[in-house]
Amino acid sequence: MARRMIGARRTFSAAFCLVVIGSACSALAASDGNASVDRYYSKTYTDCMHAAGGSTYPMRDCIGAEHAAWDNALNQIYQVLMTSRSPAEKVELRDDERAWLKATARKCRHAGDDEAGGSLQNVEIDMCFMDETIRRAVYLRGLH
């Protein structure tokens, strides 16, 4: 089962990232940066989470696959932005990205504090990183 989930993680295609995530980015960009992103999760992810049935390890596999897809999209958007910016704007974007990475790590390291020691602690942390990555992809897409 774990191998199948890892394989599923790799099957997210570039087309998915560009079409589905691209349209989600446009819609979410118009909303508040702290808005819930769950409505932008892929069908594959929601089906995976449903199939996980609340079991921690399968849930983490689902979250990992969705996060990887959004992280890929975020990286693609960032690269496009970097190629189309002046040198000064590139430095600003790079510094902003570094600050976002630090802030996200600081926030998400404590996302599971309410579940400290429990099996859901890592699920909460993983979900935080996934949701923040979605928000960042949306933000960067708005700059494009």
Q: For the residues of the chain, what is the DSSP string, one character each?
A: -HHHHHHHHHT--HHHIIIIIHHHHHHHHTS-TTS--GGGS-HHHHHHHHHHTT-HHHHHHHHHHHHHHHHHHHHHHHHHHHHTS-HHHHHHHHHHHHHHHHHHHHHHHTTTGGGTTSTTHHHHHHHHHHHHHHHHHHHHHHH-
Question: What is the pLDDT at residue 34?
Answer: 54
Query: pLDDT tens per residue, the chain (144 residues)?
Result: 333 333 333 333 333 333 344 444 444 444 445 568 987 899 999 999 999 999 999 999 999 999 999 999 999 999 999 999 999 999 999 999 999 999 999 999 999 888 888 889 999 999 999 999 999 999 999 887
d(CA 25, CA 9): 21
State residue 35's pLDDT score. 65
State the pTM of this model. Answer: 0.75
CA distances from 45 to 27, 61, 115 (A): 19, 10, 23
